[in-house]
Structure 1
Amino acid sequence: MNALIIAPILIPLATLVLTLLARRHGRLATFFSLAGAAALAAVGLALVVFAAEGRILASQAGSWAAPYGISVVIDRLSAAMVAITGIIGLATVVFALARDDDPARSRGFHPLVHGLLVGVCGAFITGDVFNLYVWFEVLLVGSFALLVLGGGKRRLSGTVVYVVLNLVATMMFLLAAGMLYGASGSLNMALLAQAFAAGEVPATANAAIVLMLTAFSIKAALFPVFGWLPASYHVAWTPISALFAGLLTKVGVYALIRIVTLFWPDAGIAHDVLLWVACATMLIGVLGAAAQVEVRRILSFHIVSQVGYMILGLALATPLALAGAVFYLIHHIVVKANLFFIGGIAARLTGSERLAAMGGLYAHAPWLAILFAIPALSLAGIPPLSGFWAKFVLVKASLDASAWIAAAVALVTGIFTLLSMSKIWNEAFLKPHPAGGISARSAAGLRPALWAVSALAAMTVAIGLGAGPVMDYAVAAADQLAAPQAYIQAVVAAGGR
């Protein structure tokens, strides 16, 4: 069981080493990369099966009791996040098999992708604040290298913005961790949750949590510190930007959910602030998308607006709202990664990402039109796709909590999202191509990309049509978040206390 708990870290780490050793042998490196991503997805799904039974898996490094041993904890939420990380990682590696001439297709791609997955999975399963900081550092190093991979002035400028703001957030996180340790004498999340619940922490500990949540807000691209995301994600190679779009901001959202539900579970001023931040994030993000004229910049602003929905669920802090946030996380990771994949394919076929220079895709590639429509309509919340159920639950939770303004903002954001998706549809798919047609050669070698896109589109449909079991799992995950005693007991028991 301990091997299964630590497998989400060991598998991508071993894959990183193998792909690095085989980097001069392209096919072998690709084989190791595919096998590692598939193994991570399989382990994630196995963890979901265990977590669905209500079990919380916990382990301490060296069997040392907390806070001396490093805690690794897997509950329903972290198991789901590991599984979806493996799935998106596998889709990214498969998509990258498609032939193109992007200079980012280099020997460093596969090791860096799995290095990023190490950091992401580590952040999802750690039970220690300092080690959460360490895993953030690991994923940031991988993301910095991946973002600039292939070079070029455009990528370099986008990377500078990304690096500066994320380093600021990282320094804030480190300072907050130091303050929290000085105030409490521990950084183990379970023991800290006990201390906060008993009122045994000084005011400086609460100040540290405020600083920590601010750092996570930057990493999650919440209002008003979201500008780094649309300035950077659209410049990367398509598989890389899709991986970022699906996972990176969700690590920040996950950290916000984990810290708030453990340390500040009761509704208070922090939840009120988060509610207004969520509303502003939804509106500003979707309005920013409406002003863009490039596909991936539109989609980047929609990441911002959709993160607002997740934080809305956290801010309301009711069991139904938390369930909606969990469901939204699962839905959005799949949908957003897929839209970035499709945006890259559309740009390759038409020769541009600017809407004015695109067109003719419906006539030339009707299969791509169908594959775009599924995640686009899901993002906008059209039934019976996954996005409809995610938005429905959060709007209902808002109305139940008498948060009328939040419910209205969520509905208006959904309408504007549909308008943005319609703009892409009209410009890229329906109107004729300005140059008179699309070259058949532009579609050469795209089959692996279509496999990845089709699989994620099928997942979106499956989550929508099978929303009942997914929602049951999300509700059970929300129950664990709302009542963290089982989480705390699992960590304490794992240390032999």
Structure 2
Amino acid sequence: MTNLIILPILIPLFTGAILIFLNKTIMAQRVVAVISSISTIIVSWLVVQKVREVGIQSLKVSSWDAPFGITLVSDMLAALLVLTTSVIGFVCLIYSFKTIGKEREEHYYYAVYNFLLVGVNGAFTTGDIFNLFVFFEVMLMSSYVLLVLGGTKLQLRESIKYLLVNVISSALFVIAVAYLYSVVGTLNMAHISARISEISVNGMPGILTVIAVLFLIVFGLKGAIFPLYFWMPGSYYAPPVPVLALFGALLTKVGVYSITRTYTLFFYHDMDAFGLLSVLAILSIVLGVIGAIAFWDMKKIIIYNIIVAVGVILYGVSVSNTASITGAVNYLIHDMIIKAALFLLIGIVISITGTSDLRNVSGLMNRYPGLGWTFFIAAIALAGIPPLSGFVGKLLIVKGGFEGESIFGASVVLMSSLLVLFSVMKIFINGFWGLDRTYAGEEKAPARYLLAAPIVLVVISALYGIGSESILPYFTQAADTLLNPDSYIDAVLKE
């Protein structure tokens, strides 16, 4: 059963390789991709249950014992993220069938789509810091192709910026790993943690604080934390909607996960590093909210709300007590689901109206009530209105903030909920109510088909919130591992 943890990586890897040879047979590509996606969901679910029942799972690749060989590790946080990624990947895949276009489908869209999932699932599962870099590169190379596929002027322009930022980030990543290796002499993440604990008995050496800040810069660029989010609004605006949903739900969260994992496993001795993380998280919330309120473009409103969510999650991590970490994990999963749903819903609006400018959209509720009310539920879930999915996670983060005497940060998180609600309700009020309009090409928009995908995610979000008491033990288990690195170290090094 331990070998299960490698399957969410291997299944999309082999699927992508097979789909390369089926690029001219679109229906065959779709069938293979759907079968693969469903299989990955099933395996991911089994991994979650295995971790819940038995504890942290680790797999030695090539039978070399840790810390000498490559190790895959699935604790509850990693398992939940892989499952969430698999579900979102499936939903966005179904949505792609009617929206991505034949030209992209014939140019390896589904193959690259699966390679992106390889990188994301691998980043969540690896127990080796250098292989985290490797999986980042797999993810990024796939995202470059998905971003540019279609070749519009906007895509090409934003691809250059996106590529440049990530090349610099990757170079810094290698430098950070090299510095860390020079200090601790290992790349296995559990072994790094053990070595840093030995070194830090008499206080955290200055070089490790520098390395912690360097990792924050690297992962902050990928996770779009203040002030390193400058590239995201333009780059995420350019690709087609299913790719935007995939990027918005998954890619920044890999950066957030990486900050969470390294800071709670490596640098938990260093209060200065956590203090810097807290300041940047609060600034991310403030700047993200300002952007979300200021814009009238529907895509940009939700893109800036990604920055808000990144700040909320990392604020919970920076407070680093049981309530805040549990809330951060809960809110991370919620945000992945609801952001994907919102981007897909906005994609339907754009397919009907032909524009993402909110000032040119109104009256959709008359002809598309299902779309309108689904968006409403997703909007209030994003803002954390009870009993939907965002409420419990944000409540725990705020509770953790007050317990940790971070009154200002907790207050910012609370205030952000109102402003986030205002930003998304602006779309609902202006886009779905008001003067009824007709739109050129509206008849060709497959709105009913497309609506099925976000409805699945919104239903999951609603159940996630209503059933929060029954699933809270999963998040508590994930938080326990983050707060007690010894359990992670023992699972990897003392098998």
User: Which of 367, 370, 386 is 1:367 aligned to?
Assistant: 370
Trace 1:188-267 onto structure 2 (pairs within 5 A).
188-199=188-199, 203-266=206-269
8 Å Cα contact 2:292/2:423 also seen in 1: yes
Deviations 1:339-395 (A, max 9, x none): 000011001111211011112211110000011111111111111101111211111
> Following TM superposition, by how much is the alpha carbon of 1:168 offset from its aligned partner in structure 2, in angstroms?
1.4
SS of alignment partner, residue 198 of structure 1: helix
Counterpart position of 1:160: 160
Counterpart position of 1:276: 279
Give, in whole Å, the separation in 1 of the partners of 2:468 and 2:269: 29
Once the two structures are overlaid, the 10-residue window that deviates more, 117-126 or 382-391, is: 382-391
Counterpart position of 1:286: 289
User: Which of 433, 443, 446 is 2:445 aligned to?
Assistant: 443
Deviations 1:282-313 (A, max 9, x none): 01001011111211111101000111011011
Aligned CA distance change for structure 1 residues 147 and 13 (closer, same or farther; 3 Å) = same
Paired letter, 2:464: I
Trace 1:292-303 onto structure 2 (pairs within 5 A).
292-303=295-306
User: Which of 409, 415, 419 is 2:418 aligned to?
Assistant: 415
> Following TM superposition, by how much is the alpha carbon of 1:206 offset from its aligned partner in structure 2, in angstroms?
4.0
Give, in whole Å, the separation in 1 of the partners of 2:183 and 2:269: 21
> Following TM superposition, by how much is the alpha carbon of 1:203 offset from its aligned partner in structure 2, in angstroms?
4.4
8 Å Cα contact 1:331/1:386 also seen in 2: yes
Counterpart position of 1:383: 386
Give, in whole Å, the separation in 2 of the partners of 1:267 and 1:473: 27
8 Å Cα contact 2:298/2:346 also seen in 1: yes
Paired letter, 2:283: A
Identity in percent: 35
Counterpart position of 1:112: 112
1:17 maps onto 2:13 in alignment: no
SS of alignment partner, residue 380 of structure 2: helix
Q: TM-score, length-normalised on structure 1? A: 0.96
8 Å Cα contact 2:3/2:59 also seen in 1: no
Counterpart position of 1:457: 458
Deviations 1:148-185 (A, max 9, x none): 11111111122222222122111111111111112221
SS of alignment partner, residue 214 of structure 1: helix
Once the two structures are overlaid, the 10-residue window that deviates more, 178-187 or 104-113, is: 104-113
Gaps of 5+ in 2: none
1:491 maps onto 2:468 in alignment: no
Counterpart position of 2:342: 339
- Aligned length in residues: 492
Give, in whole Å, the separation in 1 of the partners of 2:139 and 2:111: 12
Q: TM-score, length-normalised on structure 2? A: 0.96
Paired letter, 1:336: K
Once the two structures are overlaid, the 10-residue window that deviates more, 405-414 or 1-10, is: 1-10
Give, in whole Å, the separation in 2 of the partners of 1:286 and 1:174: 33
User: Which of 327, 331, 335 is 1:328 aligned to?
Assistant: 331
Paired letter, 1:489: D
> Following TM superposition, by how much is the alpha carbon of 1:471 offset from its aligned partner in structure 2, in angstroms?
2.1
Gaps of 5+ in 1: none
Paired letter, 2:273: A
8 Å Cα contact 2:209/2:273 also seen in 1: no
Give, in whole Å, the separation in 1 of the partners of 2:132 and 2:347: 32
Once the two structures are overlaid, the 10-residue window that deviates more, 152-161 or 121-130, is: 152-161
Counterpart position of 2:310: 307
* RMSD between superposed Cα atoms in Å: 1.6
SS of alignment partner, residue 377 of structure 1: helix
8 Å Cα contact 1:360/1:438 also seen in 2: no
SS of alignment partner, residue 59 of structure 1: strand
Give, in whole Å, the separation in 1 of the partners of 2:150 and 2:323: 44
Deviations 1:425-484 (A, max 9, x none): 122111225x5457651333x444222111101001000100112222111110111111
Give, in whole Å, the separation in 2 of the partners of 1:14 and 1:483: 36
SS of alignment partner, residue 24 of structure 2: coil
> Following TM superposition, by how much is the alpha carbon of 1:52 offset from its aligned partner in structure 2, in angstroms?
1.4
SS of alignment partner, residue 494 of structure 2: helix
8 Å Cα contact 2:329/2:479 also seen in 1: yes
1:83 maps onto 2:83 in alignment: yes
Counterpart position of 1:41: 41
